[in-house]
Structure 1
């Protein structure tokens, strides 16, 4: 599958590492295509480098791994992305009352806003519920980590679930894109435990079923 990862920070790079060697053609979308460091990283994971617009144009699946504050301009610059599967793994984070928190919720979500920016695309919310390290590597965990998936297009969700399996996750369907309103606060539980409660980044939620 042809996959464009838009944004090459910690999350974008972790996803490139996790998808490397899984039979996908991965392109890293960056404005600085001449960066030798980026090209060297891409070579280590078997990816190519292109501008965000070119990466998205040539992809079947676009993964958005951008800081929320930069997301709107960057996403609108990609064009309409008509018919393409777009995976939104961002959380609308910012400083709220002096602490890191969600800047919106209850009546909308980051996932719904992204879908509004891309009305012709098939937007799926997932990969927002865990830190970057677990996206790149999770086979060492005692239980298979879980990722919930929200979206209005069942075919797009099936594609996303297949990629989640490639990344080592169990994928569970959370419902339509409006369910991003519960997935984004759920991410804050992971962030709280990892950053504020001393658990660190090397863990994930799992769905453990009884006999």
Structure 2
């Protein structure tokens, strides 16, 4: 598959590293595709680089790995993504007096908001439930880590499920895009344990059968 990764920070870089040598054509979409950091990531992962809209144009899957506060403008700049499979791996996190938390929930979700920005695309919420280190390399874990996904299109979820399997995840379908309201708080459980409760970042949830 041709996979465009929009955003080359911790999450985008981890997805690229996890998909290295898995038979996909990877394109890193960045505002400065010739910059030293992006070029180094491309060299390390065998990816090519392009401006975000150019990267998305020819992709089978477009992965959004952006800071939530910058996402709306960045997504709008990608152009027409009608018919594209778009992976939303962003959690709509903000800071308040109470600490880090979700900015939306109950009546909507980040995934639904992204689908609203891209009404003609097939948005799949996933890759938001674990830290970047695990996305880059699942091989050190005792069990295949579970990764839930939510979206309205069955075919899109099947395609994304193949990508998740190549990353080493046990992909489970959570239902339509409204189920992102479950997956985003679930991601916050990982964040709470990893960053606030001292568990660290090198672990993931698993679905262990009887």
Q: Same fold judged by TM-score > 0.5?
A: yes
Deviations 1:34-79 (A, max 9, x none): 2123112201110011000000012111000000000000001111
Q: 2:90 aligns to what? A: 90
* Aligned match of 2:72: 72
| Conserved 8 A contact 1:96-1:103 | no
> Are 1:190 and 2:184 counterparts?
no
In the alignment, what sits opposite 2:206? 206
Q: Tell me if the contact between 1:193 and 1:199 (Cα under 8 Å) persists in the aligned partners.
A: yes
Confirm or deny: 8 A CA contact 1:96 1:102 kept in the other structure.
Answer: no
Task: Find the residue that maps to 1:150 and give its secondary structure.
Answer: strand
After TM superposition, the score normalised by the length of structure 2 is: 0.98
CA drift of 1:132 comes to 0.2
Q: Distance in 1 between matches of 2:2 and 2:76?
A: 21
- Post-superposition Cα deviations, 1:131-171, rounded to whole Å, max 9, x if no partner, equal 00000001111111000010000000001100000000000
What is the deviation of 1:97?
A: 3.0
Q: Distance in 1 between matches of 2:99 and 2:34?
A: 36
* Runs of 5+ consecutive residues of structure 2 not aligned to the other structure: none
Distance 2:181 2:41 in 1: 34
CA distance in 2, matches of 1:80, 1:113: 17
Counterparts in 2 of 1:22-171, with a 5 A limit? 22-171=22-171
Name the CA distance, whole Å, in 2 between partners of 1:198 and 1:36: 34
Report if aligned partners of 1:6, 1:52 keep a CA contact under 8 Å in 2.
yes
SS in 1 for 2:182: helix
The answer for unaligned runs of 5 or more in structure 1 is none
SS in 1 for 2:32: coil
Give TM-score scaled by structure 1 length. 0.98
Task: Give the match's secondary structure for 1:158.
Answer: helix
**What CA distance in whole angstroms lies between the structure 2 residues aligned with 1:108 and 1:96?**
19
- Matched residues in 1 for 2:115 and 2:79: separation? 13
Aligned residues: 210
For 1:96 and 1:130, locate their aligned partners in 2 and report how far apart those are by CA, in whole Å: 22
Partner of 1:180, secondary structure, is helix
